[in-house]
Amino acid sequence: MQKISHLSQLEAEAIYIIREVAAECENPVMLYSIGKDSSVMLHLAMKAFYPEKPPFPFMHIDTTWKFREMIEFRDKKVKELGVEMIVHTHAAGVEQGINPFDHGSAYTDIMKTQALKEGLDNHGFTAAFGGARRDEEKSRAKERIFSFRNSSHAWDPKNQRPEMWKLYNTRINKGESIRVFPISNWTEKDIWQYIKRENIDIVPLYFAKERPVVFRDGNIIMVDDDRIQLLPGEKVETKKVRFRTLGCYPLTGGCESGAETLDEIIEETLSAISSERTTRVIDHESAASMEKRKREGYF
């Protein structure tokens, strides 16, 4: 029997899942965060239905604090691929001036978690694809590929449906919804190798370049616009940095690096001694915090 490679196996699994959802769920959407995992998901969705376009829209939850290069990249991709992109922002949060500097965890809750729930509810989406991977942190390691949420989007880790073979159960009652994670079984290394193999376009922020930054609480924060409030003693410096994950620029720590090409990134990643989520500022909390947030509806 001819065997296919490990990456092709992961790709096939993801495409299978994406097709199942498209065929069985009433109103699916693919969440798009512009990061490398989302770029892989978008690529998989284009492949899964070829020569058809993906039969569902994409949705980006825009906190208004994303890196500018991310937004440019998103708009370029949409034009290039001709997919439908819904951009949703929590309007009330913007009005109240909720921002990452003054509001800490409330910011994450309102501009990300609440915004996501609102976006999903507004369009009545019954299934939402997400790019989470089980290797990211411990509570994700136990989440199923199909994760069921009640009408207030809460997750009950004790009451997960058993997931057998490839027989996914997509049935839900009114008001309930599903989060689907087709790349659950991919590791960070798989993502990078796949990006290389498939020649997938990613946001330039992943590549090292001279950028204006400040050092804050042990993190390197990029000065992406003048909304950043400098603290006493802080000064803007120019450093060669790149980002391993992308999110809201004030909450995303960069790392000093010389990796300017995909090969160099892969090499750096593979020999990395620190797992990727440590560069996301909000994650320096207790191990149980992620699970708590997820029960409340965080993706």
Partner 1 sequence: MSLLPAWKKENVRGISKVKGLLKFIACGSVDDGKSTLIGHMLYDAKLIFADQEKALALDSKVGSREGEVDYSLLLDGLMAEREQGITIDVAYRYFTTSNRSFIVADTPGHEQYTRNMAVGASFADLAIILIDATQGVLAQTKRHARICALMGIKHIVLAVNKMDLISYDKRRFEEINQEFLELTAGLGFKSVEAIPVSATEGDNITKPSLQTAWYNGLPLLPYLEHVDITTDAGEESFVMPVQRVCRPNHSFRGFQGQIESGSICIGDKITTLPNKEQAHINSIYIGDNAAETAVAGQPVTLQLDKEVDVSRGCVLSKGSSPEVADMFTATILWMDDSDLVAGRNYFIKIGSKMLPASVMNIKHKIDINTGKHISADRLFKNELASCDISVSEDMVFDKFSTHKSLGSLILIDRVTNMTSACGVIEHSLRRSSNVIWQETEITRESRSSQKGQKPLTLWFTGLSGSGKSTLANAVEKKLFSLGKHTMLLDGDNVRHGLNKNLGFKEVDRVENIRRIAEVSRLMNDAGIIVITSFISPFQNDRENAKQIIGDEYIEIYVNTSLEECERRDVKGLYEKARQGLIPNFTGISSPYEEPISPDIEINTSTCSVDEAVDVIIKVIQKRWK
Q: Which residues bind partner 1 (CB under 8 A)?
A: 1-6, 8-12, 15-16, 19-20, 22-24, 46-53, 134-135, 138-139, 141-142, 157-158, 160-167, 169, 171-173, 184-185, 187, 189, 193, 266-267, 270-275, 278, 287-288, 291-292
Residue with smaller CB distance to partner 1, 76 or 189: 189
Residue with smaller CB distance to partner 1, 46 or 87: 46
Residues 201/129/276/254 CA torsion (nearest 10 deg) = 60
Residue with smaller CB distance to partner 1, 3 or 235: 3
Structure tokens at 63: 């906190």
The span from the CA of 120 to the CA of 87, in Å, is 11
Helix (H, G, I), strand (E, B) or coil at 104: helix
Distance in Å, CB of 138 to partner 1, minimum: 4
The span from the CA of 148 to the CA of 159, in Å, is 9
If you ran DSSP here, which 8-state letter would residue 2 be given? -
Distance in Å, CB of 112 to partner 1, minimum: 22
Contact 254, 243 (CB under 8 A): yes
Backbone angles phi, psi at 28, to 5 degrees: -85, 160
Distance in Å, CB of 210 to partner 1, minimum: 23
Structure tokens at 157: 């880790």
Distance in Å, CB of 132 to partner 1, minimum: 12
Distance in Å, CB of 237 to partner 1, minimum: 25
The span from the CA of 4 to the CA of 188, in Å, is 20
Residue with smaller CB distance to partner 1, 55 or 212: 55
How far is residue 85 CA from its own chain's centroid?
Answer: 15
The span from the CA of 112 to the CA of 107, in Å, is 8
In 10 A of CB 287, how many CB atoms? 9
Residue with smaller CB distance to partner 1, 154 or 230: 154
Residue with smaller CB distance to partner 1, 53 or 227: 53
Distance in Å, CB of 165 to partner 1, minimum: 5
